Amino acid sequence: MTKRAGILVAVGATVAGLVTAVPSTASTAPAGTGPGAPAAASPSWTGCGTKSYPALQCATVRAPLDHDNPSGRQVTLALSRIPHTAKKSQGPLLVNPGGPGGSGLSMAGFVASSLPEKLAAQYDVIGFDPRGVGKSTPALDCLPKYFDSVRPDTVPDSYEAETTARNRAASFAAACGEKHGDLLPYMDTVSAAKDLDVIRRALGAPQINYFGYSYGTYLGAVYAKLFPERVRRLVLDSVVDPDGVWYEDNLGQDHAFDARHKAFAAWVAKNDATYGLGSDPAAVEAAWYGMRDAVKKQPAAGKVGPGELEDTFMPGGYYNGYWPRLAEAFAAYVNDKDQEALATAYEDFAAVDRSGDNGYSVYAAVQCRDAGWPRNWNTWRNDTWRAHRKAPFMSWNNTWYNAPCATWPVEPLEPVRVTNDGIPPALILQATDDAATPYEGGVTMSRRLKGSGLVVEQGGGNHGITLSGNDCLDAHLVDYLTDGTVPTGGGSGADAVCDALPEPKPAPATKAATNTKGSTLHGLLGFRG
């Protein structure tokens, strides 16, 4: 999941405060992992409070670049914290927004302020930038401005166009190898999970509580596999399918995002009185593809070609709270020929800034290293065209996003089999219509983690569903973080079911974001993970 530039407006002040407040110094003690490893130096916390989260503190810890060589080269991990205030603490609660490549520093303040005050007071809520990300150092940035507009059309209409796109992806992989060749062998989920244990030991905690969204669910499951005795509580929201890491999972996304794009078109059609794009969902979808054809011929405001258009509307597949804003831009372009409206939506939802360059570099580094990807391009081509015929919205876009893995300069690892019967019951939360991490992933993970409780949001299509305005889901989260209670359905499938929140109202975009919890969370989660 890479951070886009504009969509972080709701939490921008918080992020800015963290960026300037993380101390530049860190402990120098070497740190291995696992039982018997040397003690990590305690973090030196300093105030880095913001207007939204005045109690926030920041620090850094050091971890080995290569955990098999704990006394060798070190990396710095940036941390944030809302400390507990209750007399009795339940220990650290590490929170992660996903990715790979997502910054987690703002998550501590968000989670602590979103939980009931009495419950949040019992935890030290810890945010962190994983290795290579954000304020952790060294930070990756393989090829700055790789996503600058206007990029070639994602759907190749000739052999030459496909070759150009392949070469472009290969150039990104080569740039990563040239610039960060010393880091790439250690950019993987297992290394990041071992970093979590360094953080645990630096905090002086015998166990951790962990709460992860999206890719953060896989990171948490891998940590639990490596250090089962160190897990106290484990919350996984919007779950990566551990059996599809990562090529198959991305193919699954192609179909799921297309379904969410159709749901968006149906919502626009339902609200034809507001948007004037027709009352037939198929006609609305056809109008969207007509817009795509138009910007291919002439990019809107010189900025938005077909790839940028897909990127602009893709966030609607993560969170339907963005639908009113996207629909307004869609209608303005189609009905009023307003190119600037589309360009503004692109800047807000899709333009990649420096943090986005960093996030994508880490995304590629981790996913390409974690597991094997096809090296024969015919496999990519055939699978993508097969998906595109049924799901044209983003199949080729997704392929090019991941295509650097076809020529990645570091050999892949074997994925971790996360099956686990050695941890306390985990809480797993999953929406049935999630596009980024389709429903089957939550079911699979619940089967892999013995004794876990699966809570399903029936009819929900958002990615990241707790602390986002659904009281039913949040009640399960609160019960679990209070005393470890998980629902037990007594059979296969869901152990508890919550109804999805109502669809957004077609109010003007300036008034549409009535679910402030949802908009804040999804600004933090970003996209692509």
CA-to-CA separations, 82 to 50, 457, 488, in angstroms, rounded: 12, 29, 32
Is 474 assigned a catalytic role? no
CA-to-CA separations, 327 to 203, 332, 508, in angstroms, rounded: 46, 8, 10
**Catalytic member of 27, 106, 149, 214:** 214
CA distance 116 to 442: 26
CA distance 258 to 314: 10
What stretches of 351-448 show up as alpha helix (H) in DSSP? 354-370, 377-390, 395-402, 439-448
CA distance 22 to 103: 13
* Residue type at 46 in one-letter notation: T
CB 31 within 8 A of CB 198: yes
Question: Residue 404's Cα: distance from chain center in Å?
Answer: 19
Residue 67 DSSP label:
T
**Catalytic member of 434, 474, 476, 495:** 434
Is 195 assigned a catalytic role? no
DSSP-assigned letters across all residues of 362-383: HHHHHHHHHS----SHHHHHHH
Structure token pair of residue 257: 């995002």
Is 492 assigned a catalytic role? no
Q: Which residue has the tokens 């019992």?
A: 122
* Residue type at 517 in one-letter notation: K
CA distance 357 to 360: 5
**Catalytic member of 463, 474, 476, 495:** 463
Catalytic site residues?
Answer: 214, 434, 463
